[in-house]
């Protein structure tokens, strides 16, 4: 999920829970979003997800692997 869309969903939920006087649980149920996912998005609001894995490097390959 792109971070700008994720942040828009969090903003939407914050706006409408106060405006419509319903709980986050009710609103998330209506839009079909798990609470755990939503609160993970709240914790990472404004931050793009970064890749944590090792990035393959050219020197990691043997010559015969590169030729293949």
Average pLDDT for 50-56: 73
Nearest to residue 13, comparing CAs of 55, 37, 2, 52?
37
Confidence bin at 58 (pLDDT 50/70/90): low
Label residue 55 by pLDDT band (50, 70, 90).
Answer: confident
Task: Give 6-14 contacts, CB < 8 A, sequence gap 24+.
Answer: 6/41, 6/44, 7/41, 7/45, 7/46, 9/33, 9/38, 9/41, 10/38, 10/41, 10/42, 10/45, 13/38
1 falls in which pLDDT band (50, 70, 90)? confident
Q: For residue range 4-21, what is the model confidence (pLDDT) as tens digits?
A: 999 999 999 999 998 998
């Amino acid at each position: 999920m792109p971070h700008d869309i994720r942040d828009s969903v969090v903003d939407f939920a914050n706006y409408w829970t106060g405006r419509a006087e319903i709980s986050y649980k009710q609103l998330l149920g209506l839009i079909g979003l798990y609470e755990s996912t939503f609160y993970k998005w709240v914790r990472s609001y404004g931050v793009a997800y970064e890749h944590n894995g090792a990035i393959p490097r050219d020197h990691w390959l043997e010559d015969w692997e590169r030729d293949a």
